[in-house]
Amino acid sequence: MKILNINRTAHGLFYALLLVVGLHTSAQAENVPNINYQTISVDGVDIFYREAGNPKKPTILLLHGFPTSSHMFRDLIAELADKYHLIAPDYPGYGFSSMPQWGLHCY
């Protein structure tokens, strides 16, 4: 049952990020004008993500490992943004994403 809760949260994050594919309202980076920095709330946790490229092109979801953040993809995003639509989220508790309250999350 604990695995089911984690998978449900992961699926919620994935689908929430796909829903924001068309939203491009955040400020642009100064050095790389094609990267947007945005935040979306998923189950009460603010999830930060980087987005670049044309949403009409194939989308690639860049998922970082432990203990890193979406920052690790900054150069790759700049290289691929002309050919792909890229989304690189920070997992809850990493990078610029907020951390769920202790004791309220089922593991």
pLDDT tens profile 1-11 = 444 455 555 55
Alpha carbon 22 to its chain centroid, in Å, reads 14
In this prediction, residues 4-22 reach a mean pLDDT of 54
* Rounded-to-integer distance, Cα 7 and Cα 14, Å: 10
Using CA atoms, how far residue 40 sits from 13, 23, 32, 50, 51, in Å, is 9, 11, 22, 11, 12
Degrees to nearest 5, angle at CA 60 with 57 and 65? 165
Cβ atoms within 10 Å of 45's Cβ, excluding its own = 18
Average pLDDT over residues 41-65: 94
Which tens digits make up the pLDDT trace of 54-80?
Answer: 999 999 999 998 889 999 999 999 999
